Amino acid sequence: MNINIAFSTIIYIMVFLFPGILFRRAFFSGEFNNHFESGNAFERLLWNMLTSILMLVLFCFSIHSLNNSLSIKIEFGLKIEDITDTFICIYENKLPTIFVSESRIIYTINILIAIYSFSIGLGYFINRIIFYLGLEKRFSILKFQNGWNYLTKSNKQNNISHSFKDIYYTKVDIKTKTEELFTGKLHVISYDKESKIEAITLQETYKFYKLTTKEDSRKIKEIRKAISDNDPHIILHSSSKNNFIYRKRIKGDLFTIFNNEIENISITYIKISNFYEKFQNSLKKVFSISFLIVTILAISYSIWDFQIIEFQNYTRRLTFCLISPLAFGISILFLISLFNIKDLKEDFKSYLNEIKNAFIILILFSIPYLYVFNILQSKYVISLFSIYFLFCGQLLSNKKNNTTTSNTIDEEEISPEEEN
């Protein structure tokens, strides 16, 4: 009796709790992890249950729509009667009939994997769409970022000169309670579980130093000499009759200041790129979403046969599903290299080398399709892949050595002119 109750509880958790947890975990991902744990335990449990029910409804609706609108049929081997009978058995503390045979257990596991994958994919996909399109800035219901994330990103509301075609980075000046002043490029703001600022991390951080002309004359001479010698770590800020202020670079890539040490913060938006670079970034985001969709479809196709392409056996279908995301990703890299106008203008040889390298690797990962579509037998494809792989390694290493030798020759040719 107790075993049946425990078993029923596990099934309820797997069906009515896990999908919601996985969706919310994927939705609140990245730098917004803390929002996943917002609220008390009862609120989180309620949200997880409601989201799980929503995921189950959307999953069933999606499968039903695909089966009715497309020629493909997605079947799990279980009927609606089997599922309803399972919950009746759980209610009566009996062993569900779906666990009587091995095949039905496999069908049940497939359904659970499909629901979990659907929940994770949908959560992450919605998260990316919201931020790529900036929907959280237009609709208050989608604003699950901390308020500081809006202040530290340039937009028309907090930056008058901001336009659609421009990209800005955020510069932060921080004054501490000990009267120290730091400036640098904002890297990340860390939050605690209550979404309050825990620390601020900067890149390329400088610290301000203030000297008096009379008392620190020797130090000022040393600083001026370092500036005249083009010391990259020291920058003159201002100089007057009584005071001398300069900035000195803090060693290290990142510098963190904890919230309890901060007195006030000043934010400045620095323009760094134009429309062309923003278009490239948008294109990369589109490619990233496309790659995610292809990967999800490949994983689904490896589990369920959608009958889009007729394969002779499961091994060929599995090979197709494993190779397709890689081939698609490399094709994207090839297209990016092909339309890289910046490299085309600045260094034509480097532009050609990048295209050749991407094309060579694309051919390498296209070889398994000879086996997938029954053009060559597996042993010949493996041999061809191995030979071409060694050829690619040798070819790419030769190109790298030739490039290094060419650079060395150029330096030797330039050095005598520099001496003259």
Of 246, 273, 300, which marks where a domain is finished?
273
DSSP assignment of 49-76 equals HHHHHHHHHHHHHHHHHHHHHSS-----
Per the structure, the count of domains in the chain is 3
Is 21 a domain residue? yes
Of residues 138, 208, 222, the one with CA closest to residue 173 = 208
Contacts 24+ apart (CB under 8 A), 87-94: 90/8, 90/11, 90/12, 91/8, 93/1, 93/4, 93/5, 93/8, 94/4
Is 189 a domain residue? yes
Mean pLDDT by 10-residue block, N- to C-terminus, for the chain (420 residues)?
63 83 84 64 84 88 78 65 68 66 76 88 85 69 67 75 75 92 90 80 93 88 89 89 91 91 90 66 77 84 78 86 87 77 69 80 87 87 87 69 49 44
Is 159 a domain residue? no
What's the pLDDT score for residue 415? 44
What's the pLDDT score for residue 45? 85
Global pTM value: 0.49
Is 132 a domain residue? yes
> Which residue has tokens 């040490």?
261
Residues 111 and 26 in one domain: yes
Q: Quote the tokens at residue 356.
A: 């050749």
Please report, for the domain that includes residue 190, its CATH number: 2.30.30.100
Residues 120 and 46 in one domain: yes
Residues 130 and 179 in one domain: no
Of residues 234, 218, 217, 27, the one with CA closest to residue 119 = 27
Residues 238 and 286 in one domain: no
Residues 267 and 280 in one domain: no
Residues 407 and 281 in one domain: yes
Is 151 a domain residue? no
Residues 265 and 310 in one domain: no
Residues 244 and 341 in one domain: no
Residues 121 and 241 in one domain: no
What's the pLDDT score for residue 217? 87
CB 96 within 8 A of CB 86: yes
Tell me which residue range forms the domain holding 339. Answer: 275-419
Of 224, 248, 273, which marks where a domain is finished?
273
Is 154 a domain residue? no
Of 244, 273, 302, which marks where a domain is finished?
273
Is 264 a domain residue? yes
Residues 314 and 390 in one domain: yes
Q: Quote the tokens at residue 125.
A: 């996909």
Is 294 a domain residue? yes
Residues 249 and 213 in one domain: yes
Residues 284 and 389 in one domain: yes
